[in-house]
Amino acid sequence: MSGSEPRRVEREVVCPFCALLCDDLEVAVDGNRLAVLAKGCSRAAEAFARPLPDDLRPRVRGEPVALDTALARAAELLATARLPLLAGLEADLSGLRAAVALAERTGGVLDPMAEEGARAQLLTVERAGWVTGTLAEARNRPDLVLLLGDGWRTTAPRLVERVLLPAVRLDDRPRRIVQLGGAPPEEAAIEHFPCPDESLPDRVALLRALLRARSIAAPEPLRELTQAIRAAAYRLLVWSIGSLAQPALLALHAAALTRELNAEGRAIGLPLAAAPGAVTARQLFLWQAGVPDPVSYADGAPEHDPGRWCGERLLGEEATDLLVWIDAFGTRPSPITTVPTVLLSRPGSPSSGTPEVAFPIATPGLDHPGDLYRTDPVVALRSRGLRRTAALPTVAAVLAAIGERLPPPRI
């Protein structure tokens, strides 16, 4: 028994379980139990309904301990670590601010270690730039949509309903949607141009060449598509970099295609990120440190050197001696590693091995309000807290309490 009346919440419920951050869910709250009643996808339904375990105590080497004991042990590990790595970084803005403060204090490295290909994509943007738009533009404006591969379906499960084929659009011009490669779409409204995954970057490169009116051999359907792209007033390219076989090459051609198409008419890219924490972290780093991830405070000032401070490399070569893995949404288990780990994760999340210290923590949007950035990273949403879970501290609270237990900084 929950002790209070079940209630239905129908307004301003933001789902934090992918970077689409759908803000239209209807949920039932019955004490600690949550259920999606309408508008969610199957991922949201499972994630909201995941029950809270009875035992929410922190653990040291698998043994339940008092919060103060766990905080003291985590502080001891951080105080003696040569190069701590704070990664995962799936938290709300205040949790991530606390992570930056802790990295600054301990000379650590911050790296979301998000999707494969995300780093290559960032390098492409840094070198050549791209033209992107918001979900509102993507939903309302395009008359031609090009989906590159089918990774968008798992990265953003409600993309069809929220963006590609919404019930209402501001611009009611007919919209043509074509998917290059991937599995055949289930929606009749989405055309499919089959193409092996590894050839997708070449197809996009071929489209670029055809659009520049090069007289080169190309299959007739691709020629026809070229004409349609040329004739369209507003084109949208969608891709999910983590799902692609050659992410660096694909990001390069997709970014170039959006730039080139803007010479006549309008075109935007919608690169879909998988998780809101990584998007939020990048925005925070940009305005706070002046550089994107990964960010190192090993030498005091923030430094962005993707090769040197890459979290995967630091772990693989054991160049880091402490991993602090943050996963407030329970969507990204910590990597398998021999490096001692301090884990902050949603209770009941799968874990790899036994961490040195584990803190069950509150989930933004479920257990407390929090600010998160969407996949179109100019838009931040405030997710509300739906239930009261006093036994679960926030990421911000745990990291701040660890910081308070560190020895005073050397001057």
Tell me which residues touch ligand SF4 (CB under 6 A).
15, 17-18, 20-22, 40-41, 43-44, 156-158
Decide if 328 contacts 364 (C-beta within 8 A).
Answer: yes
| Selection from 365, 395, 346 nearest residue 23 by Cα | 365
Query: Coil, strand, or helix at residue 302?
Result: coil
Cβ at position 330, least distance to ligand SF4 in Å: 12
Our CB check for ligand SF4 shows the closer of 129 and 166 to be 166
Distance CA 314, CA 1 (A): 48
Our CB check for ligand SF4 shows the closer of 73 and 374 to be 374
- The secondary structure element, H or E, covering residue 70 is helix 67-80
Query: Coil, strand, or helix at residue 58?
Result: coil
Cβ at position 239, least distance to ligand SF4 in Å: 17
Cβ at position 241, least distance to ligand SF4 in Å: 17
Decide if 74 contacts 65 (C-beta within 8 A).
Answer: no
- Give residues with Cβ within 8 angstroms of 25, minimum separation 6: 13, 14, 15, 36, 38, 39, 40, 44, 48
Cβ at position 41, least distance to ligand SF4 in Å: 3
Our CB check for ligand SF4 shows the closer of 34 and 195 to be 34
Distance CA 301, CA 295 (A): 10
Cα three-residue angle 292-368-366, rounded to 5 degrees = 95
Our CB check for ligand SF4 shows the closer of 46 and 305 to be 46
Decide if 318 contacts 338 (C-beta within 8 A).
Answer: yes
Our CB check for ligand SF4 shows the closer of 362 and 381 to be 381
Cβ at position 321, least distance to ligand SF4 in Å: 35
Distance CA 129, CA 273 (A): 17
Our CB check for ligand SF4 shows the closer of 44 and 281 to be 44
Our CB check for ligand SF4 shows the closer of 158 and 203 to be 158
Cβ at position 275, least distance to ligand SF4 in Å: 10
Lookup result for tokens 């309408």 = 38
Cβ at position 359, least distance to ligand SF4 in Å: 24
- The secondary structure element, H or E, covering residue 252 is helix 247-261
Cβ at position 270, least distance to ligand SF4 in Å: 14
Our CB check for ligand SF4 shows the closer of 20 and 314 to be 20
Our CB check for ligand SF4 shows the closer of 156 and 200 to be 156
Beta-strand ranges (E) seen in 232-375 are 234-239, 266-271, 295-296, 322-327, 341-345, 357-360, 370-373
Cβ at position 49, least distance to ligand SF4 in Å: 13
Provide the sign of the torsion angle of the four alpha carbons 206, 212, 218, 220, taken in this order: positive
Our CB check for ligand SF4 shows the closer of 157 and 242 to be 157
Lookup: tokens for 158: 């409600």
DSSP state letters, 355-386: -SEEEE-PPBTTTB-EEEE-SSTT-EEEEPP-
What is the DSSP pairing of strand 370-373 with strand 357-360? unpaired
Q: How far is CA 231 from CA 219, 228, 253, 350, in A?
A: 19, 5, 20, 49
Cβ at position 43, least distance to ligand SF4 in Å: 4
Cα three-residue angle 204-210-212, rounded to 5 degrees = 110
Our CB check for ligand SF4 shows the closer of 327 and 356 to be 327
Cβ at position 15, least distance to ligand SF4 in Å: 3
